[in-house]
Amino acid sequence: MTESPALVEHPTVEARAVSKWFGQKVAVSDLSCSFGPGITGLLGPNGAGKTTLLRMLTGLLGPSDGEVRIMGKDPRRSPEVYRHLALVPEEDAVYGFQTAREFVAYSAVLAGTDPRSAEEAIATVRLEDSADRPISGYSKGMRQRAKVAAALVGRPDLLVLDEPLNGTDPVQRAHLIDTFRTLAREGHTVIVSSHVLAEVERMSGRVLAMVDGKLAAAGDIAAIRRAMSHIPYRVRIETDLPRRMAAALVEIDSVAGVELDGETLHAETTDLEGLGRSIAGVAARLDARVSRFEPEDESLESVFRYLVRRR
């Protein structure tokens, strides 16, 4: 059992007290975390240091302090580590003059695998129809898929994706998410950095949130929310007697405030479970009907907003 949700047992990738500064600017500050099989979402506002962390994890940047290990090895000293690692960067790191088929086959040759495996990777991202056109003529979403195919062709144990869903339409997005989930189920380690919180929430139960170069939260989304006990939960209650219900709720100690919005109440409470147990008794006493009782801020977006607002 690890001592922190930021760390996993049997990690594939570890960052141990890594920091990175560029002149006077500190991009990542004393950050320790690890990643193992499954999908981990890496979140943070612009400038939080996510891309810097990912580039350190993949060896493109050397940490100013601390160390990074992939399968126990320093990626900057052991290029053979790249047999097990693939990065899909956010920027357009593709050769425009190549077709997708050539690009993916080139990636296969460099990874030491059979170039014919490119066909399987291209099929995985559903790029077969356009695979023989130059990438310079592709849309943003198609370029993303070409990059993902080039990453998958080496059958990496560790897949790092920086904003992989940028420019993709909803159908392509859903298909890519399924692909990443399948890889995770097969025991691969997948790290996804994204601003599209709803998609990250769909993909991964475990998240690492960064703010201002530091790790702000780590672990399961619901557990992170529970750990923010100083921020009252916001609960939505729909009832046929909103005013009487509001008056009754205010008398409960753990309820910090109630807001009325037509027939809907928004209550703030420091004890979500306690309120959940009490609401049935209160409704029975008032002879009121409660049609909905739902926490409004257990979503990743709410958690993320609280984390960012703290700074």
Partner 1 sequence: MTAFRAMIRWSLRHILGRKRLVGLGLFGLVPAVVMAVVGQTASDASLLKEFHAGPLLTVLFGVLPITTLVLGAAALGEERRDGTLSFLLLRPTSRTSIVGAKLASVWLGSFLIVGGSVGLAALVLGVRSGHWTPFGPVLLAMAISTLAYAAAALALGYLTGRAVLIGLAYLVILENGLALAIDGMATVSLMRIGLTAYWALLPDRTAAVAFSEINQLMASLAPGALGAAAKALVIAGLVVAGTAWLLRHRDVA
Closest distance of CB 210 from partner 1, Å: 19
The answer to whether the Cα torsion of 268, 269, 270, 276 is positive or negative is: negative
Nearer to partner 1, 55 or 101 (CB): 55
Cα 62 from Cα 221, distance rounded (Å)? 30
85 belongs to the binding site for partner 1 (CB under 8 A): yes
Residues shown for the chain: 311
Among 112, 187, 276, 281, binds partner 1 (CB under 8 A): 112
Please choose, out of 86-94, 138-146, 212-220, 230-238, the segment that lies near partner 1 by the rule CB under 8 A. 86-94
95 belongs to the binding site for partner 1 (CB under 8 A): yes
109 belongs to the binding site for partner 1 (CB under 8 A): yes
Please choose, out of 37-45, 72-80, 220-228, 302-310, the segment that lies near partner 1 by the rule CB under 8 A. 72-80
Cα 104 from Cα 55, distance rounded (Å)? 22
H or E stretch covering 126? none
86 belongs to the binding site for partner 1 (CB under 8 A): yes
φ/ψ of 130, rounded to 5, equals -110, 10
250 belongs to the binding site for partner 1 (CB under 8 A): no
Closest distance of CB 14 from partner 1, Å: 19
Cα 130 from Cα 133, distance rounded (Å)? 6
CA distances from 201 to 8, 204, 207, 300, 302 (A): 19, 6, 9, 6, 12
Binding site for partner 1 (CB under 8 A): 55, 58-62, 76-77, 79-83, 85-87, 89, 91-95, 97-98, 106-107, 109-112, 115, 150
